[in-house]
Structure 1
Amino acid sequence: MISLQVCRFFCERRTCSRRTFVEQVPDLTEPQRRHSVGLRRWMRVIATFLGGRPGERLCRTLQLPAGRTHLLGLLTAPAVPEQAPRVLGVDEFAFRKGWRYGTVLVDVEAAHVVDVLPDRDAVTFADWLREHPGAEIICRDRASAYSSAVREAAPGAQEIADRWHLLANLSSAVEKTCHQHRSCLRKQAEAERDAQPRPIINPLPPPTLPPTKIAVRTRDRYADIHRLLAEGRSVSAIARLLQLDRKTVRRFRDTDLDQLLSSARHGRPKGVLEPFTAYPTERFTDGVTSPTDLFREIQQRGYQGSDLPVRRYVAGLRTGTVEPARGAIPNPRKITKWIMPPRGTLRAHEEDELLKVRLACPDIARACDLARTFHDLLQHRRGHQLLEWVREAVRDAPAPVLSFAHNLCLDLDAVTAGLTLPWSSGIVEGHVNRIKTIKRAMYGRASFRLLRTRVLLRA
């Protein structure tokens, strides 16, 4: 029980519309309120962290009379400071991935959200910078919209390109290089396989592996598209004639047949059998067609699964429903994972595999050297050596890495600052992940105003 005594005042003027006035207790009561100040503060916190329906369920458990509409009505967005923070971080987040995006602005020094914008247009961000001057350093990704807005509305601010996005772009370039030179790795694997002596087990000629349907379709489509290109047909005309999408026609036009066949494999086993598919394929062509014998042989080579995947794979080799593995080569993504980490972090067997890849393809070896050199510049903040790295890349780099170097030159000042100064967009990325959590908890049915309010209140 709380026994509270307050004073009640009366107005003696007959013209006054209010005849009585009640004394208010600070931090406890407010005029014309259904709840106390403390209870409203609790319900506001519940609405901020949980939202409408989850907050209503919690209030029901705590025996607090509050509906979801009342809880959300308690939320009001805090005022945005008139001055922008000295170090401002900007990044995009998705309301619906691939369709609609917003922008989050973060005070990097204080690590809290300053404001949330309803889109990622350069005009919106430029207007915000004009209304809130004072930003001296702006951390951003490689998006051109934010860069043009900064040049227009805050030309004196220092732009800093985020280091994580730089490494991500370089990793994509390295992976493209590995994709383009899979034939070199394939030749090396087949040469090593042919150099090994093979025992003669069956005097009969080895069985031939029938091609898969998807491989035959890929070869025919490749031949038809290049035949029409040789006749002078345009991409749109070929797409209409073959009833294909124009992107498919361009992909068949710009990609080698070996790469298309490697990406068109159908029915390849996944999981524990995938690293061992080259050996049973080789033994099958040598005449060993018994799944039991092949299962015992790959067990001696480290296979730890059951015999069922082996039987299915051998059955697919017989009927031609799977594309046979032509040699054990690492996929481009795995090679990229060997190249991109800092020096000295790979295991011994990974270093050996990477050395084999470098010996098999000089272009991949050159991409590896350039990627590791760039990683050293980034890790040790040697932005003054960036131009020298670009010159080395222009001299003899593979095409994807060369394109990455040219893109760096388009944003040279921001990239140099990112490789020199300690600021980055890491804190901004953390807030983007937090926004994703809040957005998914609202099930996509709330308005932008409510999302912005909850993000700012939880900053």
Structure 2
Amino acid sequence: MSISHFVLPAGIRFGQVSIKHNSSGVLITALSAQKYSPCPICNVRSKTIHSYYHRKLADLSIAGNKVQVLLHCRKFFCGNTKCYRKVFTERFTNELLTYARRFCRTTKTLAKIGLELGGNKGSAISRAIACPISPATMIRTVKKICYCTDQQTSGVIGVDDWAFKKGRNYGTVIVDLVNARIVDLLGDREAETLANWLEKHPEVHTVSRDRASAYALGIRKGAPQAVQVADRFHLLVNLRDALQRSFHKHSAVLKAAFKEFTEQKNPDKPQYVEEISEHSIIKPSVHTPENTSLFTGNVSLQRQFKFEKAKELYSKGYDIGPIAKHLNASRRSIRKYIRLDVLPARTEPVYSPLMSNFDKFRQYLSANYKPGLTTYRQLHQTIVANGFNGKYSSFCDRMNQLVKGGEMQFVSQNENIALKPLPDIKIWSITKLSFMALSDVDKLNVTDKEFLDFLYRSSSIISEASELASQFKKLFYTKEPGSLQKWIERAIKSDSSLKTFAKGILLDYEAVNQAVISSISNGQVEGQVNKLKTIKRKMYGRAGFDLLKTMVLAN
């Protein structure tokens, strides 16, 4: 057996073969030895040779060397007098297609690389294996891959959306939950599109989905016989959101609980009482206009102008939206301005619980900041130990504003201003509290557990809402039929904010009930969506829907 049988494709008959090695790689010259060739139009075999021509083909590398094949081919006369094609080029087997510039085995190898790596990375790897093609050619090779577009499913599928561009364009991914593979991609997330797809797949009997109304409607239209299962993850997210709204509604109770819990934990530490004096107020060096008739109390000129302009535009018939856009203000502010006859003065600074208490330490910072000797980090560590509740980045921003803006009034370095000690105040965010309320008690630390017990004793409404949320979460573990209906009846009768959440479940009761009593989950779909995102980002912005669909389904 000659060496050509190991180098060249076995499906083509070659006559004389010569192999040469030069600076550019390996050059193989071969002569076609087929006895006849079929006409591409009438498929009648012909042996009558018309002329000869050469085809320059790329092949897989040999020992890391680039390979080029110079194939000596022929043209034939068509012997069928009824055929309009008189002369045609030689046709080969599936190893070499018409107009191809490389053998099929080479194209398949490059297509596999393109499916895994995309255009740019795939092109780089093709150069490394001595079979170079450009990123654009790699993309075209991937686009030509044939795959089945009408795959049969196991009957249990999951549906979810994915983003072409987040916040703008979305598509739909359909996953076979039994075989753990993506079945199809849809170009949008409309109910009609999903219904049309389901009509072509009558074998579908169970569909897992999120709580989007469009998917619920599409499933009812396209597969009315299918059982719908709501996604448990999204249900728990909705539950946590409802619990957060309950905490927001009783924010005053939470603030009082934070204070009382701190006093209870630190009974011997003195409480900080803010002392306001003429030295503790740092007045900015801003020039005040002489014309004070435009001001109401201590209202700024900019705020007074927006107030008067908003009332003027509203009297002319403009809506709140255009006025807010024109004045670069929020709708809430414009609505408040319209209701008021006179803009009230700001008699004292308003502090939000989310704001830092930086202003309480201004006098101390003025006395102790020495450029070149004292660092921001040292000052920050000192005031944190004495009750500062802000982050280091916000502290640096405020210090830069005071120092560079000339607003800080430096006190003599001989003066020594001491800070009063503060107790360590523990404050939990509403998001943190919602996670704590839904977590297992054994997984909480001692402080979190003690505060939850204290909070539940302080407010019966918050305690009831947290208990209802925990019971709803336990429904997914017990999987008892009828337990969801009992929970909804109890939640609706309660005074907590979870009453609205329970009424929303009634609108999609069957799907949520299936999520409670069945073991089907949409988690597999979420994993496939993450895989889809990874493939989309490999294409470096070139992933149109058709190409992306090929990248996903051809794998």
**Structure 1 length normalisation: TM-score?**
0.75
Partner Cα distance (2:464, 2:425) in 1: 24
Change (3 A) 1:410 1:46: same
1:418 CA displacement: 0.6
Partner Cα distance (2:484, 2:318) in 1: 39
Select which of 518, 533, 547 maps to 1:436: 533
Partner Cα distance (2:161, 2:431) in 1: 26
Pair 1:79 & 2:143 matched: no
Q: Is the 8 A contact 2:163 2:171 kept in 1?
A: yes
Pair 1:102 & 2:171 matched: yes
Change (3 A) 1:143 1:20: closer
Structure (1/2) with the larger strand percentage: 2
1:262 CA displacement: 3.5
Partner Cα distance (2:91, 2:393) in 1: 85
Partner Cα distance (2:426, 2:283) in 1: 19
Q: Is the 8 A contact 2:261 2:451 kept in 1?
A: no
Partner of 1:407: 504
1:294 CA displacement: 9.6
Partner Cα distance (1:306, 1:121) in 2: 47
RMSD of aligned C-alpha atoms?
4.8
Q: Which of structures 1 and 2 has the larger relative contact order (alpha carbons within 8 angstroms, sep 6+)?
A: 1
Select which of 228, 231, 245 maps to 1:176: 245
The amino acid across from 2:544 in the alignment is S
Partner of 1:187: 256
Q: Is the 8 A contact 1:77 1:456 kept in 2?
A: no
Partner of 2:79: 15
Which segment is superposed worse, 422-431 or 348-357? 348-357
Change (3 A) 1:432 1:261: farther
Partner of 1:123: 192
Change (3 A) 1:194 1:85: closer
Change (3 A) 1:185 1:159: same
Partner Cα distance (2:162, 2:209) in 1: 13
1:112 CA displacement: 0.3
Select which of 431, 440, 457 maps to 1:333: 431
Partner of 2:72: none
Secondary structure of 2:178's aligned partner? coil
Partner Cα distance (2:270, 2:210) in 1: 58
Partner Cα distance (2:271, 2:209) in 1: 63
Matches within 5 A, 1:344-383: 344-383=442-481
Q: Is the 8 A contact 2:261 2:454 kept in 1?
A: no
Q: Is the 8 A contact 2:323 2:334 kept in 1?
A: no
The amino acid across from 2:79 in the alignment is T
Change (3 A) 1:308 1:144: closer
Select which of 351, 372, 384 maps to 2:482: 384
Change (3 A) 1:20 1:52: closer
The amino acid across from 1:2 in the alignment is S
Partner of 1:271: none
Q: Is the 8 A contact 1:138 1:157 kept in 2?
A: yes
Say how many residue pairs are matched: 421
Partner of 1:2: 4
Q: Is the 8 A contact 1:162 1:425 kept in 2?
A: yes
Secondary structure of 2:536's aligned partner? helix
Q: Is the 8 A contact 2:205 2:227 kept in 1?
A: yes
Select which of 153, 159, 162 maps to 1:93: 162
Cα offsets for 1:333-376 (capped at 9, x unmatched): 11112112245322333212322332333332222111111111
Secondary structure of 1:430's aligned partner? helix
1:117 CA displacement: 0.4
Select which of 217, 233, 257 maps to 1:164: 233
Which segment is superposed worse, 404-413 or 9-18? 9-18
Partner Cα distance (2:282, 2:337) in 1: 20
Pair 1:45 & 2:141 matched: no
The amino acid across from 2:513 in the alignment is T
Partner of 1:142: 211
Partner of 2:548: 451
Higher gyration radius (CA):
2
User: What percentage of residue pairs aligned between the two structures are identical?
Assistant: 26
1:175 CA displacement: 1.4
Cα offsets for 1:374-430 (capped at 9, x unmatched): 11101232352001111111111422x221111100000000001111111101001
Q: Is the 8 A contact 2:195 2:222 kept in 1?
A: yes
Change (3 A) 1:428 1:15: same
Q: Which runs of 5+ in 1 are unaligned?
A: 229-233, 254-259, 269-276
1:293 CA displacement: 10
Cα offsets for 1:128-156 (capped at 9, x unmatched): 11122211000000000010011111111
Select which of 104, 117, 122 maps to 1:55: 122
The amino acid across from 2:536 in the alignment is K
Q: Which runs of 5+ in 2 are unaligned?
A: 14-32, 37-45, 49-77, 81-85, 285-298, 312-316, 339-349, 370-377, 410-421
Cα offsets for 1:19-61 (capped at 9, x unmatched): 886774x7x5556543333322211111112222221121112
Partner of 1:153: 222
Partner Cα distance (2:224, 2:336) in 1: 41
Select which of 135, 140, 164 maps to 1:68: 135
